Amino acid sequence: MATLMDKLRGYLRSPQGQQTIEKAKRMANDPHNQEKARRFLDKLRTKRH
């Protein structure tokens, strides 16, 4: 039986997985999305303390 990681690796190697990776890279390079991520992480950090 394939493990979850095996299924994930298979998906990421597929053409659809490659498209998802490229989309994620484009989104990660967007300054607006970077700021949203920073605010989210700051919010998480303040809740823990």
User: Model pTM?
Assistant: 0.66
- Tokens describing residue 7: 């299924």
Q: From first to last of the 49 residues of the chain, give the pLDDT tens digit.
A: 689 999 999 999 999 999 999 999 999 999 999 999 999 999 999 987 6
No. of helices (H) and no. of strands (E), the chain: 3, 0
Q: What pLDDT is attached to residue 2? A: 84
